[in-house]
Structure 1
Amino acid sequence: MTALTTAAALQRIRADVQSMHAYAVQEATGLLKLDAMENPYGLPPALQAELGARLGAVALNRYPGARGDDLKRALADHAGMPAGFSMMLGNGSDELISMLTVACDRPGAAILAPVPGFVMYGICAQLQDVKFVGVPLTADFELDGPAMLAAIATEKPAIVYVAYPNNPTANLWDDAVIEQIVEAQGAQGGLVIMDEAYQPFAARSYIDRVARHGHVLLMRTLSKFGLAGIRLGYLMGPQALIAEIDKVRPPYNISVLNCECALFALEHADVFAAQAAELRAQRAQLVAGLAKVPGLMQWPSEANMVLVRVPDAAKTFEGMKAQGVLIKNVSKMHPLLANCLRLTVGTADDNARMLAALESSL
């Protein structure tokens, strides 16, 4: 009887959901984890003790309250949020993308983004039954400006996502092409979301240009800042737009512990800035090492990852894993990524071990 009722209940779940694959998180036990663009550095012991005492005093018996407003003010100051802008918080950027999709889900709505790109843009659209339009990048992972403009004219998307830098390609796109896309999307009445998840590692930010446009929102996360475990994303934009999108946010979506951790980190932003500077330096060393590996192609990186192409991605991935190094095989994500691997930038020791495993696995 149990199996029969379970089978019957499964029929209540949407067919397209049943045909989907869940977001895959690789098992990393016992491996050097360099697959998810995480900051390899933890808090110094003194700060760990200080944070522990502070979290121990948090009122866990109360729903989140005004402390969330304190966090928004601190983030606005940290990011240099323009005057006249507002902010909303999400349980990571993933929740913000989901809420944007819900808020813009009108009949016939479409969401557009370059591909390959962050998979959650398309996943959130599918879950909300919104059309997703992926516009392929060029062969060297640059924006295809004419194709993007043509898709905007044809589809008239509610949202265009521009990742700055992009994941998994790690590059910053041409600013002139980005402005063409922003102008075209504004002319047809749609939103542009500038996704700056990897801003701590990039040479440029859109923050100094975002206020020029009334239809552009800027999204960031504390995951690459060094706090992937607390799940905290934030969205900045004109007050009128943020006020409407915020209506679909679940109440109390940011826990008191996440909030207090984020506030604590921002009070010690210099520690995390130093970690980001060290990772940028290590990225340069890794790029130099990769350049010496025969049979390997790499692309410029403005993030804490490097995209490389090898003769056989599956063989190299498994060879590295057998040596205790876990990276990300992105070769099946999109045809443009054929035989590509994504390497997270780690500490000097991490990178040396990853490079050795890569060379011996080619």
Structure 2
Amino acid sequence: MSDQLERLNRLPLRENLRGLEPYGAPQLHVPILLNVNENTHGMPEKVHAAIVAAVDGVVSGLNRYPDREFTQLREALASYLGHGLSAGNIWAANGSNEVLQQILQAFGGPGRRLLSFPPTYSMYPLLASGTDTEYVAARRGADFSLTAEAAAAAVTASQANIVFLCSPNNPTGTALGMDVIEAVYEAGAAQNAVVVVDEAYAEFAHAGTPSALTLLPGRERLIVSRTMSKAFALAGARLGYLAAAPEIADALRLVRLPYHLSAVTQATALAALEHSDALLANVEDIKGQRDRIVAELTALGLTPAPSDSNFVFFGGLKDPHAVWQGLLDAGVLIRDVGIPGHLRVTAGTEAETSAFLDRIRELASSGVF
């Protein structure tokens, strides 16, 4: 046991937190970072200028607390999402992780259960632990798929109070059918379960892929979570949000910290939303690079999953760590998600994607696969 861990264990830490490790991907200094699903295209110049001007406009008022209700931002987010939503349907926080945490603070806690379907976003069990909510895992199929019947059965068996569905799913990149979400919602009615559809990567979905936003009318326990970190290239600004019945936002007001969204964050997000067309143009380029990765990995005999996200999850590897290391040795960092035979790579710029694919071909020809 390390000295640091020993010192930690001497503290009166909650028992359900002992032995846990904090979430975090490797932070290595290499030329090409394709491991945490960031938007590597950066900020278009006109959007950069608009954000700088917006932040400059609020600096003189930083001695005052920000708008606690962030009304203008909620109106702008509702307008962006469409689907007949209004400001009353919207809530936001410092990244979608904080949105999910607030949901668990309001609806989870001791004696309550959170159900999800691994392999999925690895923060879900950590958020459960942080709120002393029991975490229940219901596995997907061998091909990482999830059917409406299996999902509904898991909800019934677990008697979960909250269900997290990730669509497109991280790390597989696959989107859920609306039938799965509908079945989960209906199965959760007996215990009044809150169903959260985490759509962090929704903007990268293939044309025609439906959003759970279409299911919100008449479903007061359904929440759709989004983020501005990915499509809007604002990972460093930390702005996540949700759409739901207005009473969901009322519940989250009970647990949010006062003035939790800074004036700088609000100004940054508003400026980005005003230039959504320019930012979403980059999304189309990212989708093209993603599809290019899928096609070329398939040609190499690997098995990439169909992706509706800005990353590609691929299998068929005898030694994933050797491939991961071989890429790192060439200055390309991707993600080892701990699933046997698989790795995950973010779709970057054309140059970044080319560097990844060139190195993968070299590794294939050297027999590393």
- Residue of 154, 162, 170 corresponding to 2:165: 162
Quick one: which amino acid aligns to residue 78 of structure 2? A
CA contact (8 A) 2:104 2:131 kept: yes
User: Secondary structure of the residue that 1:359 maps to in structure 2?
Assistant: helix
Aligned to 2:114: 111
In the alignment, which residue of structure 2 is the partner of 1:28?
28
- C-alpha contact 1:82 1:211 (8 A) present in aligned 2: no
SS in 1 for 2:54: helix
**Structure 1 portions without partners, runs of 5+:** none
Partner residue of 1:293?
A: 300
Pick from 227, 246, 250: which aligns with 1:221?
227
2:96 is matched with 93
The 3 A distance-change label for structure 1 pair 70 and 116 is same
What amino acid is aligned across from residue 295 of structure 2 in structure 1? A
Aligned to 2:350: 348
Q: Which moved more, 1:223-232 or 1:261-270?
A: 223-232
Unaligned runs of 5+ in 2: none
Is residue 62 from structure 1 mapped to residue 64 from structure 2 by the alignment? Answer: yes
2:190 counterpart of 1:211: no
RMSD over equivalenced CA pairs, Å? 2.1
Q: Which moved more, 1:49-58 or 1:298-307?
A: 49-58
Equivalent position to 1:322, from 325, 329, 349: 329
Q: Secondary structure at the match of 1:160?
A: strand
Q: 1:278 aligns with which of 285, 305, 311?
A: 285
After TM superposition, the score normalised by the length of structure 2 is: 0.90
Is the CA contact (8 Å cut-off) linking 1:314 and 1:339 kept in structure 2? no
* Identical aligned residues as a percent: 32
| Aligned-residue offset at 1:319 | 0.6
- 1:88-116: per-residue Cα shift (whole Å, max 9, x none)? 11110111111111111355210001111
Structure 1 counterpart of 2:238, which letter?
Answer: R
- SS for the counterpart of 1:224 is coil
Between stretches 200-209 and 189-198, larger displacement belongs to 200-209
Contact 2:99 2:242 in 1 (8 A): yes
- The Cα of 1:246 is off from its aligned counterpart by 2.2
Q: Structure 1-normalised TM-score? A: 0.91
Deviations 1:328-349 (A, max 9, x none): 001x2xxxx3121011001111
In structure 2, what is the Cα distance between the partners aligned to 1:173 and 1:7?
44
Determine the structure 2 residue equivalent to 1:123.
Answer: 126
Aligned to 2:115, what secondary structure does the other structure show?
strand
Inter-partner Cα distance in structure 2 for 1:160 and 1:15 = 24
1:162 positional shift: 1.1
Which residue in the other structure is 1:19 paired with?
19
Residue 71 of structure 1: how far off its partner (Å) = 0.5
Shift of 1:204: 2.4
Q: CA contact under 8 A between 2:68 and 2:261: conserved in structure 1?
A: no
- Pairwise CA distance, 1:72: 0.6
Q: Residue type of the partner of 1:327?
A: I
Matched, 1:77 2:79: yes
Kindly provide the CA deviation profile for residues 8-39 of structure 1, in whole angstroms up to 9, marking residues without a partner as x.
Answer: 98332234424111112312313300011111
CA deviations over 1:15-72 (Å, ceiling 9, x no partner): 4424111112312313300011111122233442343233223122221116821011
Query: What does residue 308 of structure 2 align with?
Result: 302
Q: Distance in 1 between matches of 2:235 and 2:107?
A: 27
Aligned to 1:53: 53
